[in-house]
Structure 1
Amino acid sequence: MADSTTESNALREAHLTLDYLLRRMRHKSDFPALSGAVTRVQALSDSETENLQTLCDGILQDVALTHKLLRLVNTARYRRADSDPISTVSRAVSLIGLAGVRNLALSLMLLEHMPDKAHAQQLKEAFLRVVMAGTLASELCTRRDDAEAAFVGALFRNLGPLLVAYYLPDDAEQIGQLTQGGPDGQPPISEEAAARRVLGLGLNQLGVSVGRLWSLPDALLACIVDPGDTVPNLPLAGRPDRVWWLASLANEAAEVMLKTEPVDLAPRLQALEARFQVPLEMASGELQAAAGRARRRMSELTDALNMTVPGGSPAERLLDVWYVDAPQGEVGGPGPTPEALGLTESPDDGALPARPTEAHDAVSILGSGIQDVTSVLTGPFQLQEVLQVILETMLRALDCRRVLFCLRDPRAAALQGRLALGEGGDVLRNAFRVPLVHARGETPDLFAAVCLRNVDTLIADASAPAVAPRLPTWFRERVQAPTFLLMPLVLKRAGQPDAVLGLIYADKTEANSLVLDEQTLSLLRTLRNQAIMAFRQATGM
């Protein structure tokens, strides 16, 4: 009788948790979209030069859009009663159409502002780990169709944990504490067991329950459930459960990468590969190679979405992080460190102090400018029109002296000033010429190095001894800006070298007066990426 009562209480608690979660979901958007996703997907869906597969790839990179899209297309509005459930993005896009995808993307937020910054950071780390799992799963597949199914399967394995992390952050924190060990020296327990103790139901059960409410197909519901620790000892090629175990491997590998110091990672991945080698028929070293490729894809993703990751944080281990030892490419010696040159890639290290009052005004102006550019990109446009809006937005938001856009000269490997706003714009435009090719043994100046390395750079004081010698003669003689910001425009092309398209420059009249907080820098990068999108649409590059 006691056992029956306990079981009844557990079921009641599970139902209460699920009901509470569903109420929270009804009062919030499904998931916060990663920054920049709306603009990126809308540009792809409006472009006549991008194909359906490119759009699908863009959607798969975004956790929020993938979840919502698959949920939507499996409703009665889009799927006939006699048709099979839709479990891939390709079929979903084909069914809804490009316009439908664009409207769906516009229903998501760039990035939901959360007053609890600690919670926002936890969500960012959770999303990156989930995307890494999906990317790893797809990298371990040889066929494109399999890769898409693997990505979605590995992603949906995390549906329960993501729902709890977003909607029930206090419970998520308590679950995390139990996996590290309970109070009074109690041993750590599994995440699933911790969830049952805190929520009254496991994360698998929670994810499947919500998935059923969303009418997800059985193939995805099966992926949500962890098949356990007993890995099969026979090849799974051609069997439906292969994707389950691939999702398990990818998620375990992503967790290992997140929590392991780089120096200790290789043996951990080798041990994990050994467990799954037979059922997934992997060659020796295949997991580590896939992890390297996945890191590069993750770095490209965070760059495209203007997503900053604090240096030294666990999430940084999921990225292909490299450090510029000197702004001179491959033609010189190692040279001084970025710190010695005054180069700063992001404000996370505290080098770019925030000024809350100015940052608030800048954020408002930048947000409006991004909306204006998005509106322009939705219809026929002139490239100069887009660049004009971007430069004017930056000039006003940062209260700059002048802002300039440099364009690559097709007749020479150099950037030339083309469009300038602010004081003495004509003089500034004519002064700028940044060579991108240098003779062996020749050291590129700071401007060329920033473009070749694709590093957003703020120079707080151009007269600093470590910076001044790196400035080109034309800048010292004709521009003489005490503080300035450089943001390269670099086009990434599959199977081809990256192409430097241009450079955005902004300056002010007093040293150390140009300061950026993380949110302002993120919005500036969104504007810069919109300029790259405009180039793609206008030129078909």
Structure 2
Amino acid sequence: MNSETSATEALASASPDFPVAEAAVDLAADPADPAALAAAEAEAARLAAERQAAQEAEDRAAAEREARLQRLMQRIAKHADFASMKDSTRLLQKIARSENAHARALSGAISDDVAMTAKLLRLVNAAFYSSAGGGSITSLQRAVALMGFQTIGMVANSLMLFERLPKGADGNRLRQEFGRAQLAALLAHQFCNSSKQLDGAYLIALFQNLGGMLAGLHFADDMEAIEAALQARELAEGSLAWQEGREKLAREQWGQGLEDIAIEVARQWGWPESVRMGMRTLRPSNLERACSPEEYQRVLCTAANDLAAQLLKLPHSGSPEERAEARKACVERFAAELAVPLGLDPEPMPEAVESVKQVWDDLAQTLGFGAVVAAPAAAGKSSSSSKPAKPGDLATPANKAAPAPAAAAPRPAARPAAANPAMAEALSSALEQLSEMVLSGAAPGQLLQLCMKQMHEALNLQRVIVCLRDASHGGSYLKGRMGLGERATVLAPLFDIPLAPPTELFGLLCSKGADTLISDTADPVIAQRLPAWHRQQVRAGTFVLLPMVAGGQVLGTFYGDRAEAGTLHISERELTLLKTLRNQVVMAMRFGGGKG
């Protein structure tokens, strides 16, 4: 019996998938057969030895990969500027992760590099806040307040790398790579239809090709040989076959792929794990269904990089009309393949790409990262056309119903409202005042009060109400906490908004982080989704809702209304200013801007 037990245990330890119970029954049927016992024990020993050998081989391979990776890191570290950049980026990340950090600390760390500071301000003005600041944001402290600690820290990282690229012809290819990464980042941010992943889309798309830039900077000869081999195979640069071939040749050359190199450098720089995981490219597993939430961001950023490469490869010759048609055809091919996995509406995409390219052209000129390529114009449409709707865009009379589920394609936005100079000026003034309060460490409650007051005055609203997450209900409800305007303090307690699951329009919009303007609450589609207390007691004809969301969690919402339907109009510029006001309050609530 002892032999029978040891044989069974040996089989179990050697191979968990082995049918141990059947083997034990067979042995028990003839316990007196020593040949059978010996054979079983020999087989178990063989399996155990094979398993141990396989594990040892895997451990040796892993150790060799790690050793080769560290040798690569040592080669990179020999470059004089790498150590200083590593110290700078780790300092930025340390400040960005600190719950007690203030904008002055981060801007002080960045300001040590005067040239990079100037380029960073150009980037903020051109790409992020040209509407909010009119292209005149000159204070780095204000830029930090507007963009947030983590975002500005990592954008600063990218510019630090750009500043270290060699001058002249040797660095031209790398500057073009940086330019492509910037275009991909802007496209990913434009196309992203997930409010929870919107902030990360720009950064991850920007850094998905960090390995190629690092290798071109530190292993220039090796990279030149790799790219020459790809050209000999007549692979189209930027194509999937080209990318896969480059990764394979990199592994043959260094024992590590370019993505592995980039992720290890990012780890040493102290970048967050969420960004490092997103830096691995991923293509959709099924072109006929929407991506899962887990794969969406990586697929989006990979697709944005692919599209950026395709756009920048288009010929520069020919008439403007011919170039426009070529660009439009390129975007349409992209949409035909990836609109479903990414949940995009194909029709407005050429116009969306046009608006992104206009921003990119400005960055290319101011930062000097490559040839400027003219933006395509959609046939028969002007360059001022609106962008496709996504979480954060206002729902207007043409798309005022509740947002579609995440898997559905977002609807195109309606024609934007005409700008109101007085409203924009009032909101700009409010933004300046709020920025100063954020930088001075004002408490979130003070910022909420100020933002509520400024919205009430600038938009000439009947009332403004602030709702915040109610901890007594497990955080699954928003409750009206403060109000300003006609009967606002009386009506605020009526705002009881369920989030999980949302059972009416307010909860649905807040849970999706969708900034929304409802022009006519009497519309049958809207009226049936509004809670009874709003229809019967608030009785507003039109309202705007600006949810406060951070890290995927709904913190609260701003609500403002007017009595008469169709009287509230908000242009794209005014929306940008409203979002910026709201985002500064969210940043203070999340990271702490004071003591309460």
Question: TM-score, normalization: structure 2?
Answer: 0.44
Q: Greater helix share, 1 or 2?
A: 2
